[in-house]
Amino acid sequence: MANVEVKVPSQQQVQIANPAPLGLAGFGLTTVVLSCINAGLLPKEATPAVVPLAFAFGGVAQLIAGVLEFKNGNTFGMVAFTSYGLFWWWFAFLNWTIGAGWMKPPAPAGVGVTLLIWACSHCTCGLQRFVRTSRSGVYSSCSGLLFFCWQEGTWALEPAL
């Protein structure tokens, strides 16, 4: 019997672009626009502009970035981007259902506790990132402080976001 050599074509590694800028842009832009409303730089009537932004750019773009980070083997990026993408979906759904009259606004303490937990989670992620790179750790920690400020402001308000 003759030896038969079978050549299997090698799989080419398809290199995808770094999805982190997409995720950071989605988080950053949505957060800045909402913060402008919360700080009084924009009127509260501008909130309907943030809801679609939270769905599309804050939510979907970060979910896409999270899936691509998973494909790249970056567990931290996958968890961070998908978590924050879903956070923006929560925010958008909350505003949408209240605005449509499908449910009453929650008590400020309920939203405040949710934001406090997100702030703690965000700061924890920031501390973990300090171990890897100080630049992204500073970013995560500053964003966590933003959540703390947001939840403090929420508790001080009437039942509105």
For the stretch 47-85, pLDDT in tens is 888 889 989 988 999 999 999 999 888 888 888 889 889
Q: What is the pLDDT of residues 123-155, one digit of tens each?
A: 776 666 666 655 555 555 556 556 555 555 554
Would you say residue 9 lies in a domain? Answer: no
Would you say residue 73 lies in a domain? Answer: yes
Burial class (CB in 10 A: 0-12, 13-18, 19+), 26: buried
pTM of the model: 0.70
* Angle, in degrees to the nearest 10, between helices 61-71 and 20-38: 150
Q: How far apart, in whole angstroms, are the C-alpha atoms of residue 143 and residue 23?
A: 14
Q: What is the pLDDT of residues 101-129, one digit of tens each?
A: 999 988 888 888 888 887 777 777 666 66
Domain that holds residue 138: 105-161
Kindly state whether residues 85 and 71 are assigned to the same domain: yes
